[in-house]
Structure 1
Amino acid sequence: MARRYGGNPAGTVILLIADIAALILILWIALFLLDANTANGLVDWMRDAANWLSGWSRGLFTIESDNWRAVVNYGLPALVYLLIGHAIAGRVNRA
């Protein structure tokens, strides 16, 4: 596994966790917008994982459109995980 900052392995683990969390959320947004079959096991797992990862932010904004609501409710936590995860990893790698 290549280290993105060439520093502490803990920083790499933090980056990996943040990136995977954001990827799951982004993939769920795509599956939702493409109207994926929720009876499919993978789609069901993605929905459950995305709901768990975004539990703190869902319903933060009241938006009429289902598509925009999904983008905001799952996109915001994806962005937060990326920003905070990368910031913490950068601090760990500088220490």
Structure 2
Amino acid sequence: MVTTTRTAGNPIAGIIAVIADVAAFIIGLWILMYLLDANRDNTLVAIVRDAANWLAGWSRDMFNVQPEWWRVVLNYGIAALVYLVIGNALARAVRRF
């Protein structure tokens, strides 16, 4: 079995990294759906929107800029970056132990 540095070592580190990456992916997917004007009545779009709203609740109204699409990209993008950076840094720190 071949192991990569991402999953080698402490399995908790791998779980932390995957959770952070999935959170960032969901937020990024919502940004893409918003920019492409996805049908918000669609069940999948609503699920992604609700999950992204919950994950980015702390940053959703951080900046009040115009136009609206820029506000969504900026505020949700900050949350996605924080999940990626902090989550993967935490995973690296846990992996060392």
Same fold (TM over 0.5): yes
Quote the residue 2:73 is aligned against: 71
Q: Structure 1: which 5+ runs fail to align? A: none
In the alignment, structure 1 residue 50 sits paired with structure 2 residue 49? no
Q: How many Å apart are 1:64 and its aligned residue?
A: 1.2
CA distance in 1, matches of 2:5, 2:37: 36
Moved over 6 A (4+): none
**Cα deviation digits, residues 63-89 of structure 1 (max 9, x gap):** 011110010111000000000101110
Overall identity of the aligned pairs, in %: 54
TM-score by length of 1: 0.95
TM-score by length of 2: 0.93
Equivalent position SS for 1:62: coil
Equivalent position SS for 1:57: coil
**Cα deviation digits, residues 28-47 of structure 1 (max 9, x gap):** 00000000001100000000
Letter of the structure 1 residue corresponding to residue 12 of structure 2:
A
Structure 1 vs Structure 2 CA RMSD: 1.4
Letter of the structure 1 residue corresponding to residue 10 of structure 2:
N
